[in-house]
Chains A and B, each alone.
Chain A
Amino acid sequence: MAAEIIRLVDVSKVYGTGDATVHAVDDVSLTVKEGDFLAVMGPSGSGKSTLMHILGCLDVPTSGEYRFAGEDVSRMNERELASIRNRRIGFVFQQFHLLASMSAWRNVELPLLYRAARDRRQTALNALAQVGLTGRVQHRPNQLSGGQQQRVAIARALVTDPTMILADEPTGNLDSKASREVLDILTSLNKSGHTIVLITHDPNVAGVAERVVEMADGRLRDRVAA
């Protein structure tokens, strides 16, 4: 049986106090196993972004327990969280978040700078090869198409060989052809054993995942993939 990567038990995130209290994430329990491809779906305001921040160890829950690959991350401090993010999670964002002043391979190398890593350049080049960008390693982000930029971002997520890839609306800024390319890459990464959590509002995008959960008003319900 595959190991548990994510175990959320009754996790809540509350903002504000008194009448202004907002339960962005309300009593959510969720388990993700190694090799899973999970999509979290929901309209904007449903709390899926907050859930993604908790899953990505960018934020800690107000209550409940979050175990990531066996480690209790719900009570970790900023420094420990930074280490978890660096070692175990690869992020793919809607806005790509590439640094404009750096070439593609320098962008991919970035997470390796925050850990003890050798052959950083070669590791970065390998990751770029995995997303089919061998010919673009010296290009700046503004010399690349949107789809190519997102592939650089995926390479950056891959380069640390993370336990999980967390993709937040990865196709949100892309046309349908580029979207298809990006989703194909994510699918093939999953096929080769990577655990992937995809956050999206788009049912077509969520459709590539093996398992889809829906979020509404901070609560989660399972839905069987079509």
Chain B
Amino acid sequence: MNLLRTFDTGMRGLLGHRLRSILTTLGILFGVAAVICTVGIGTASADSVNSRIAALGTNLLTISPGSTTSFGVRGGSGSANTLTMEDVTGLEDKQDAPDVAAVAPVVSGTATLVSTSTNWSTTVQGTTPGWLTANARSLSGGVFFTQQQVDKHAQVVVLGTTTAQDLGVTVGSQVSISGAPFDVVGILTASGSTGFTNNDDLAVVPITTAQDQVTGGSPDSVQRILLSATSSATIGSAYLEADQLLLETHHITNSASADFNITSASTLASTAASVTTTLTILLASVAAISLLVGGIGVMNIMLVSVTERTQEIGLRKALGATPRDLLRQFLIEAATLSFVGGLLGVGAGLLAGILVPRLANIAVTITPTPVIIAVVVAAGVGLIFGVYPAARAARLAPIAALRAE
């Protein structure tokens, strides 16, 4: 019997048991749709994390104090107060650090901001005008404070959009921070959130004023130093220059005992990427298991089908079907169930890709690769799980099969 006719026979076999065929197909359908959908969600979230990190500025380097060692116990990273304004001045030197575009020391604390209408507790960062460039941020209104204002301990503040909205203030308004009056001179452009940090909920004030009013501490000591490289190509050399300079200023000869850490946004990006990859793999594995369960469903139904159609198999053998004819017929039935299930699953997956973002506000990005893989795997699963039932059908002795009730 040629393949085309076997195929035709297989189709008739499936159409003869419509409900059962549809239900079996559903198992594969959901498996494939789940794979496509979860991989789509994973891809979308990876894209979104990457774009948010890119928005942060991949040129950004953050210098934070190293750990302290007291009585043999190492404190956590940042527990020391080893960064000073002297380091900042050193890094601003174009001679020593030609690849550093902007430097901004940061001290931060939490304070309550009070406007005429409401109050709001948020992060207050004290810094210098370099902050804007170093963080790759811009203003949606007003101006950033100047170096003169930093030097004069001016009571001016630049607010994040969320903070400004919640306080109900605009450029020119006054707010009080920890009881002292501040003029709102600028509002930052919205930049979204990174992980758990909302980049739009903050208040930025001159570092001198922050030390006076919010964080306290020595005017020379800073918590972090933000650097931006002149471009993303020079980030490596900017890193080395900063490292070298701080080691010298801090009189450290062995870089392993450095009392500071330099991290870059690209480090953050790769960490975030590996987290989303792990999540995607996890989700896809769960979906793949449902595809496997669908495959076992195909095998189950094919076994039931072989048992139930024992008489038919016996008859076909009596009429001249060879074991190979029957093997092929049942393999084609199994493969068709899963292939059709796979195709419908692609449809359902694509539909879910449209509906999920609307209904659940989760982004889904569907790429061709997982779709193709899912369909191929689905058809493969059907073939593999169809082999055993088909072989059973092929092996049945014609007399026994004909006599079966």
Contact = CB atoms under 8 A, between A and B. Distances in A.
B contact patch SS: helix
Interface of B: 1, 5, 9, 12, 15-17, 311-312, 314-325, 397-399, 402
Interface stretch (A29-37, A85-93, A180-188, A195-203): A85-93
Contacts of A56: 318
A226 interface: no
Contacts of A99: 16, 312, 315
26 contacts: A58-B402, A79-B322, A79-B324, A82-B322, A85-B318, A85-B319, A85-B320, A86-B319, A86-B320, A93-B402, A97-B314, A97-B402, A99-B16, A99-B315, A100-B16, A101-B12, A106-B12, A110-B315, A110-B316, A111-B320, A113-B9, A114-B316, A114-B320, A114-B321, A114-B325, A156-B319
Contacts of A87: 320
Given A78-B323, A93-B402, 11 more contacts: A58-B318, A59-B397, A85-B318, A87-B320, A91-B319, A97-B314, A100-B16, A113-B1, A113-B5, A114-B325, A115-B320
A139 interface: no
Contacts of B318: 56, 58, 85, 91, 97
Nearest to B325: A114
A102 interface: yes
A221 interface: no
A101 B16 contact: yes
Nearest to A156: B319
A115 B319 CA distance: 10
Contacts of B12: 101-102, 106
Residue among B318, B324, B402 with most chain A CB within 10 A = B318
Contacts of A86: 319-320
Nearest to B15: A101
Interface residues of A, number: 25
Contacts of B399: 53, 58-59
Given A58-B399, A102-B12, A113-B5, A78 B322 contact: yes
Interface of A: 53, 56, 58-59, 78-79, 82-83, 85-87, 91, 93, 97, 99-102, 106, 110-111, 113-115, 156
A94 B153 CA distance: 108
Contacts of A85: 317-320
Residue among B15, B17, B314, B402 with most chain A CB within 10 A = B402
A110 B322 contact: no
B92 to A, nearest CB: 85
Contacts of B15: 101
A107 to B, nearest CB: 10
A86 B399 CA distance: 15
Contacts of B317: 58, 82, 85
A100 B12 CA distance: 11
A90 to B, nearest CB: 9
A87 B320 CA distance: 8
